Structure 1
Amino acid sequence: MAHATPPTDFLLTTPRLGLRPWTLADAPALYRLNADPEVLRYTGDTPFASEAAAAAFIEAYDHYDRHGFGRWAVVRRSDGAFLGWCGLKRHVDGMVDLGFRLMRAYWGKGYATEAAAASLSYALGPLRLEEVIGRAMPENRASVRILTKLGMTYWKTDACGDFAGAAWYRISAPGTGGAP
């Protein structure tokens, strides 16, 4: 269940960031994030029709309850600014995907890498997931760079949502015998 105001504690922290479940207070920022065509350029997602639609999405988001993890709000700890989201998603096929999306004003500052590294560490550590994948369109060089910086290796080219030709990357937990 979403909260009306942001909680003060985080599930994951980094030196600059806190990651936490979305709350209803995030709806205006989530709406603005998904209203930017450049942010959505390589995602296949459509913008929310309104802040109310973003709030309804947050209210209905049950990935935390179903899987014990999900996409988390990324907040700058120094001032509480909502930067975007990052986290894990279990797909119907059972694979767990690392994803991230930040407001354009926060691109190129290392925030996505920092949040993604914390999410991946949580996935392969406390959650004990054997493998995590990441997908990006090859032309989305910034996302590909983040995935490889995290130690993910190219796996295959395949469809991702409405996009044919997405580059798939993966990483396995040490000692699982899976992909490097």
Structure 2
Amino acid sequence: MKFHIETERLILREFRKTDLRGMFELDSDPEVHKYLGNKPVKTKEESIKIIESVLNQYQERGIGRWVAIEKSSGDFIGWSGLRLNTEYNMNGFTKYYDVGYRFIKKYWGKGYATESGKAAVDYAFNILKLTELYATAEIENQASHKALLKIGLEYVEDFYFEEDELNLSWYKIENK
């Protein structure tokens, strides 16, 4: 499955196995995982499994996260986009679409989460014709909280996610 979305500063595209180096750099950094249960990957094999999982999501669900490429440098900077969750119960939901993002640390604070997140919401509502979209952020992650609000999601409530032992905030946006 091919995806190609351009924003002012980013190219959002499908994952490829050649994204291994960037994915390992991203997901092996403990600071990136500070608000994700602090479980960074330790091997490139783990990163390959993550990429393969997203490729399977494209085939099985028609959607999955996208690689984020910085236009000015051509660099893999992380991922963003949509996902159809069917794997676990999240705040009482077992099948829902969510918007999310994760970036290599040196690209934090540049507005890429907001920019790519807005593109994902636009895709969800205008291409997939979804009526609602959700997101989560660890309660202490103020940068992610601010980005989700700038994207247009509204804070709904806090909850405890037992599977990863995390205190999360739940967000929602409706297609109006």
Normalised by the length of structure 2, the TM-score is 0.88
Are positions 1:72 and 2:72 aligned together?
Answer: no
Change (3 A) 1:98 1:163: farther
Q: Which runs of 4+ in 1 moved over 6 A?
A: none
Q: Percent identity over the alignment?
A: 37
CA deviation after TM superposition for structure 1 residue 45, in Å? 5.9
Structure 2 stretches lacking a partner, 5+ long: 87-93
- Structure 1 unaligned runs (5+)? 2-8, 175-180
In 2, the alpha carbon distance for the partners of 1:164 and 1:102 equals: 20
Query: Which of these residues, 43, 46, 52, is aligned with residue 39 of structure 2?
Result: 46
**Counterpart among 76, 79, 99 of residue 85 in structure 1:** 79
The equivalent of 1:24 in structure 2 is: 17
Deviations 1:13-71 (A, max 9, x none): 10110111111111111011011111011112622231233123323431111221111
For residue 31 of structure 2, what is the amino acid of its counterpart? E
Counting matched residue pairs gives: 167
Cα RMSD for the two superposed structures? 1.7
Following superposition, the deviation at residue 104 of structure 1 comes to: 0.5
Of 4, 7, 21, the residue aligned with 1:14 is 7
Cα deviation 1:90-149 (Å, max 9, x = unaligned): 122111111100001000111111111111110111111111111111210000001111
Larger RCO: 1 or 2 (CA < 8 Å, sep 6+): 2
Q: How does 1:70-149 map to 2 (within 5 A)?
A: 70-92=64-86, 93-149=94-150
